[in-house]
Amino acid sequence: MSYPFPENFWWGSAASGPQTEGAAQMDGRKPSMWDYWHSIDPESFHNEVGPENTSDFYHRYKQDIALMKKTGHNSFRTSIQWSRLIPDGVGEVNQLAVDFYGRVIDELIANDIEPFINLYHFDMPMCMQEKGGWESREVVDAYVNFATTCFRLFGDRVKYWFTFNEPIVPVEASYLYQWHYPKIVDFKRGAQVAHNTIVAHAKAVEAFKKMKVDGEIGIILNLTPSYPRSEDVEDVKAAHIADLIFNRSFLDPVTKGEYPKDLVEILRERNMLPTIEVDDLTVIKNNPIDLLGVNYYQPRRVKAKETPIPDGEAFMPEHLFDPYIMPGRKINPHRGWEICEEVIYDIMVDLRDHYGNLPFFISENGMGVEGEEKFRNAEGFIEDDYRIEFIQEHLKWVHKGLQEGANCLGYHLWTFMDNWSWANAYKNRYGLVEVDLQKDLKRTVKKSGKWYKQLSENNGF
């Protein structure tokens, strides 16, 4: 093999409860913010497909976990839906949900697949959103109760826990760019959401430690390194600011226990600092993570601000820099994202050199393609060589980072099977396994799934 990986390397994939389970109105689950948004604004979703059915993992988990084993998984990340486990946000625990998640965890373990459990994947109960969502400290306390409940119920079997997946996304999508409900444009409120989320995370870590759960706890961050157009001072400064806002704003407090001083100063100058309660900074300082998950899809490229800011426009991050389109870049035309594999190496080196070489793993990386059915061969499965190439080219750079001492423990692809993807619904497919929406959600392993089995068995390629 040209690219062998360390012994006990994690090979697997990531998914989430709301994107795979379906059964949205069954067995005591109550509406999440996604259910509500779809009910009032279905046009915002691709083909108006909402979260009510998704890929039906709720009823087919045994079949799906068998396919995970067939595609080489030794680990798998999913999430527990708050709206299923504690349907009213606080109060009574739904025993049917306890039974379901317990069965899933047991089935994974029975198949020698390590369960990685995430607690929050964008799916707040609507009753909590009505209280203000992450702007509300009442919701922060309710989340900590939810996390504690999960630790108590499943901590005897789950060894790897994650508080949040991509916590910057609800800030960007719901409070800056109007991608997700409630589609607010208010940077200061977004900053408050970010801070309260970090407090919720730190308090959950604190509870985990106090309960002496036999395992490790961390967070999943989508890191999008910022690269300047040139080495010009103003371009470099612009990239630094973008990096502070979109990466270090979460990475620093969960690892170093403090916000970047440059970021604090930028917000203070613009009167955008969130309200910080008495013990917040202490609880953040005292509860660093054990393990980091890194989601990597694309870089961010920026240049010094050149375009004028419209008069009277509320402050936005793009007031401090402009996006830059690099000539000749490689791009996924279906998703519109740049493909730049070597960036994953840059992330690894940064974590090694500036974050104490903390243990981490690649918790998401993947390629979404629209209209994959056109790649179906005569044998009936999809020949997604482009996905195999995408994974290989990224893993070459992961291997280089490992050779140079980065503390990477595994690689999880997004995702195991084609799933519902928020407002994009089923527009782009990411799975190792096809889900046929026209044929009773039939599962068929793609060429990449067969290759992934070989990758895992050989522990390299």
- Catalytically active residues, by annotation: 166, 364
Cβ atoms of 10 and 412 within 8 Å: the answer is yes
* CB proximity list for 308: less than 8 A, separation 6 or greater: none
Cα(first)–Cα(last) distance of the chain, in Å? 5
Helices assigned H by DSSP within 23-179: 33-40, 57-70, 82-85, 95-110, 126-129, 137-154, 168-175
**The tokens 């308090």 sit on which residue?**
203
Calculate helix-pair angle for 447-458, 385-403, nearest 10 degrees.
Answer: 20
* Per-position b or e across 445-457, b if 16+ CB within 10 A of its CB: bbbbbebbbebbe
Instruction: Report helix, strand or coil for 101.
Output: helix
Cβ atoms of 175 and 184 within 8 Å: the answer is yes
Q: What is the DSSP letter of 33?
A: H
Q: What is the DSSP letter of 203?
A: H
